Amino acid sequence: MSREWPIAVRTVDVAAPIEAIHDVSGYPRTRIFVHEAGTLVGSVDIANAGGPISATSLRQAIAGGLAWPLMRRAVERQIVAAPHPVPTYSVSIVIPTCNRPDDLRRCLSSLRSQRAYGRVEIVVVDNRPGGEATRSVAGEFPEVRLIEERRPGLSYARNAGFVASSGDIAVAIDDDVTVPDGWLTRLLAPFARPEVMCVTGNVLPVALDAESQCRFEAYGGLGKGFDPIEAGPDWFGSYRTAVPTWRLGATANAAFRRSIFSDPRIGLLDEALGAGMPTGCSEDTYLFYRILKAGFTIVYQPTAWVWHRHRVDQRSLRHQIFSYSKGHVAYQLTTLFREGDSRALVRLFYSLPKVYAVRIWERLRGRSEYPIPLITTEILGSLAGPLALWQARRRVRRLGPSVRPQPHAVSLESQVAETSAH
């Protein structure tokens, strides 16, 4: 098998003159993320074999790989009506952290470029209080409000931030992401439509230097592609198998109307799901599920991207994939037993085994480079999912639930109708 890493990661703005890329020596491949004046278009991989990439080669690769997206954007600029002005919401950006001061400092530094948006507060939630590292970093940024959540678990930490926040819109990001200019404006744009209760954005790798980082991207990464997705009640009801809310993004880059957290049909994140719990993940996909079931809309906005720092060692990668598999099964069981959604059974006993069988078959036939040990890790994680969910539910009963915000005087439907009237 030929070595496919490290992969250089670079960006190119096609609204500006295309220039050669010289700083990719030592990289067999380069991944180019292409944008047009800040609007993400797509990506192309160039096999540069350790040498520079000429402007001609770069133009040819972009034209060959992204001809249709670029042409579609050109047509849209000609025929699409001017967008409605985006309302200026008050925004709370909630960042859970757990003793990762360097990541947190990079994240907070990048957020300063978003301050031009308007009324923005930044809430950092320390999920491992007691040390000085997080407090010291937060102290470097006077605009940051630091709170503590002593109960371990990402859902507990995010919920604490959501409850403590004051903005109309609550934005969730991770402490190991950085944001580009214009990110917040692009992420909030779909909220101009009152039926939209959640907007998610793309998550791109800031580096692909290690094998584990490249394997994670091959696994699927955190981004959900370059095409926008809109999911509403019709989308929710159109599936005979489990509703694939995991295709709609993640809370590494997501925004919510804060009023959903006090709606009894939706509420806060399920504390038994997510990192820091035996289940490992899927707290966001279950929240998406409840938003859709309540009759509202979620928009995946790929142009609102962030940069994510993937794990750099194989042990961490295996743990992450094992956790994702546990969490996925825990999510299916939660929709089955809490929501009475029998479509989860199709996913658990047909669709998911089929996915693993196809991956093994493709690997054995030489059509995939995804390694068998990682597929085995996924299968073992899936088998561990039921026990993990039982353990997590017991832990939440012991630690207690998050305190839901006080409900508003009017329902979400009334708010939607009032916004539409204006």
Confidence of residue 89 (pLDDT cuts 50, 70, 90): confident
**Whole-number pLDDT of residue 367:** 85
Question: DSSP characters for 162-191?
Answer: HHH--SSEEEEE-TTEE--TTHHHHHHGGG
**Whole-number pLDDT of residue 405:** 81
* Pair 295, 164 in one domain: yes
**Whole-number pLDDT of residue 116:** 57
Q: Count of alpha carbons within 13 Å of 186, Cβ hemisphere only?
A: 21
Report the 10 Å Cβ neighbour count for 301: 24
Q: Assess if residue 84 is contained within a domain.
A: no
Length of the chain: 422
**Whole-number pLDDT of residue 409:** 39
Question: Is 415's pLDDT higher than 50?
Answer: no
Cβ contact 206:223 at 8 Å: no
Domains identified in the chain, total number = 3
Query: Cα-flanking dihedrals φ and ψ of residue 201, to 5°?
Result: -125, 175
Q: Assess if residue 326 is contained within a domain.
A: yes
In the chain, DSSP finds a helix count (H) and a strand count (E) of: 13, 12
pLDDT in tens, 343-378: 999 999 999 999 999 999 999 998 888 889 999 999
* Pair 373, 414 in one domain: no
CATH of the domain at 156: 3.90.550.10
Confidence of residue 131 (pLDDT cuts 50, 70, 90): confident
The kind and range of the H/E element at 139 are helix 133-139
* Pair 309, 322 in one domain: no
**What is the dihedral sign for C-alpha 339, 342, 343, 345?**
positive
Q: Assess if residue 327 is contained within a domain.
A: yes
> Lowest mean pLDDT: which of 70-74, 150-154, 281-285, 413-417?
413-417
Question: Is 402's pLDDT higher than 90?
Answer: yes
Q: Whole-prediction pTM value? A: 0.91
**Domain end (from 51, 79, 107):** 79
Q: Assess if residue 363 is contained within a domain.
A: yes
* Pair 195, 254 in one domain: yes
* Structure tokens belonging to residue 190: 């779909």
Question: DSSP characters for 13-51?
Answer: ETTS----B-TTTT-SEEEEEEEETTEEEEEEEE--TTS
Q: Assess if residue 245 is contained within a domain.
A: yes
Q: Assess if residue 1 is contained within a domain.
A: no
Q: Assess if residue 206 is contained within a domain.
A: yes
* Pair 108, 143 in one domain: yes
* Pair 19, 119 in one domain: no
Measure the CA dihedral 356/238/229/81, to 10°: 160
How far from chain centre, in Å, is Cα 341?
24
Mean of all residue pLDDT scores within the chain: 91
CA angle 135, 136, 140 (to 5 degrees): 110
* Pair 331, 217 in one domain: no
The kind and range of the H/E element at 121 are strand 120-126
* Pair 186, 333 in one domain: no
Q: Are strands 196-205 and 253-257 parallel, antiparallel or unpaired?
A: antiparallel
* Structure tokens belonging to residue 358: 């196809």
* Pair 144, 293 in one domain: yes
**Whole-number pLDDT of residue 359:** 92
pLDDT in tens, 140-195: 999 999 999 999 999 999 999 999 999 999 999 999 999 999 899 999 999 999 99
Confidence of residue 245 (pLDDT cuts 50, 70, 90): very high
Q: Distance (Å, rounded) from C-alpha 200 to C-alpha 181?
A: 17
* Pair 303, 411 in one domain: yes
Q: Are strands 169-173 and 29-36 parallel, antiparallel or unpaired?
A: unpaired
Cβ contact 174:308 at 8 Å: yes
**Domain end (from 79, 101, 135):** 79
Cβ contact 226:69 at 8 Å: yes
% of the chain residues with pLDDT over 90:
79
Domain that holds residue 34: 7-79
Question: Is 420's pLDDT higher than 90?
Answer: no
* Structure tokens belonging to residue 395: 């832990």
Comparing 412 with 100, which gets the higher pLDDT? 100
**Whole-number pLDDT of residue 417:** 41
* Pair 294, 150 in one domain: yes
Q: Assess if residue 2 is contained within a domain.
A: no
Cβ contact 125:96 at 8 Å: yes
* Pair 393, 266 in one domain: no
Confidence of residue 3 (pLDDT cuts 50, 70, 90): low
pLDDT in tens, 313-351: 889 999 999 999 999 999 999 999 999 999 999 999 999
Confidence of residue 81 (pLDDT cuts 50, 70, 90): low
Q: Distance (Å, rounded) from C-alpha 375 to C-alpha 363?
A: 10
Q: Is 161 helix (H, G, I), strand (E, B) or coil?
A: helix
Question: Is 4's pLDDT higher than 80?
Answer: no
